[in-house]
Amino acid sequence: MNLWFTEDWTDHLRVSLRIREVLHREKSPYQEICVYETADFGRLLTLDDIIQVTERDEFFYHEMLAHVPLVAHPSPRRVLIIGGGDGGTAREVLKHGVEVVQVEIDERVVEAARRFLPTMARSYDHPSLRLVIGDGIEYVKRTEELYDVVLVDSTDPVGPAEGLFREEFFRDVFRCLSPNGVLVLQTESPLFSSSLVRGVQEALARVFPVVRLYWGPVVTYPGGIWSYSLGSRGPDPREFDPARTRGLGTRYYSEETHRAALALPPFLRELAAQP
């Protein structure tokens, strides 16, 4: 069988993965959800024909999104995850012994992950996680709860996710963060989405006293390099306790990769609000 999944990264560049089997396909109220068995990357989840995770390289993304802010915070206890329906971010967050509230807009993504991506979705069975099916933007706007860390594990900034990259949303997050609270959101490829990265950094700097940009590899994401934007009410991720990076059972994140992620090469310093 010569079946391939192809995602166009730009009008002139695309990536293809050989598919052994189509495991699942459905149209939810929000998007088309597909799960494939690939030849080399294990199972692949796509939303509207955009790669979300593969079993082979998801750890790069989920570990860097979760552990950098959680280690930066001096004593995190309560974490809010917006999005992250595959469960991988929650899996990493729960390694810190915290309470987690996760707000995911599309229940069908969660159900697909439970069925086909158990290495990530096992987090939904953890007693310290409470799943809320709903709009993360509205949740943050209305909640009266305080969180130590807020993580935005979203799809690309189109459709329902577009508001997650705006200053208004960042101000709502600031309000529901504890005094040492930290926000991190994924901000796409710094190669192909540099204007988005710069815009988010500038918007965060108008809200938070400490803003950082950091980065890491994700093989199947556009360009192979991914960016993360951090806004903090106090803690600086460059200053952290190395002991807290150990014993997490990670495959990429470590004391050394934490430091390296915040050591920006010149092309990334140009995008950062506070290089």
Q: What is the pLDDT along the chain (275 residues), one digit of tens a residue?
A: 689 999 999 999 999 999 999 999 999 999 999 999 999 999 999 999 999 999 999 999 999 999 999 999 999 999 999 999 999 999 999 999 999 999 999 999 999 999 999 999 999 999 999 999 999 999 999 999 999 999 999 988 887 789 999 999 999 999 999 999 999 999 999 999 999 999 999 999 999 999 999 999 999 999 999 999 999 999 999 999 999 999 999 999 999 999 999 999 999 999 999 87
- Asked if residue 46 lies in contact with residue 36, where contact means CB atoms within 8 angstroms, the answer is yes
**The pLDDT of residue 145:** 97
- Cβ neighbours around 260 below 10 Å, total: 12
**Residues carrying an active site annotation:** 153
The alpha carbon of 206 is separated from its chain's Cα centroid by a whole number of angstroms, namely 22
Long-range contacts of 256-259 (CB under 8 A, 24+ apart): 257/64, 257/216, 258/67, 258/68, 258/71
Residue 165: both structure tokens together: 């990259």
**Helix, strand, coil shares, percent, the chain, to 5:** 35, 35, 35
**Given phi > 0 = left and psi -120 to 50 = alpha, else beta, which region is 247?**
left
Structure tokens at 246: 């150990």
- DSSP E strands in 59-209: the ranges are 78-83, 99-104, 129-133, 147-153, 177-186
Contact 5, 17 (CB under 8 A): yes
Calpha distance 275→260 (Å, rounded): 14
Calculate the dihedral angle through the C-alpha atoms of 189, 50, 156, 249, rounding to the nearest 10 degrees: -70
Cα 222 to Cα 81: distance, rounded to the nearest angstrom = 23
| Domains parsed from the chain with CATH numbers | 3-54 (2.30.140.10), 58-269 (3.40.50.150)
Tell me the pTM.
0.97
Tell me what pLDDT residue 37 has.
Answer: 98
Neighbours of 199 (CB within 10 A): 18
Q: Do the strands 32-38 and 43-47 form a parallel or antiparallel pair, or are they unpaired?
A: antiparallel
pLDDT value of residue 59: 98
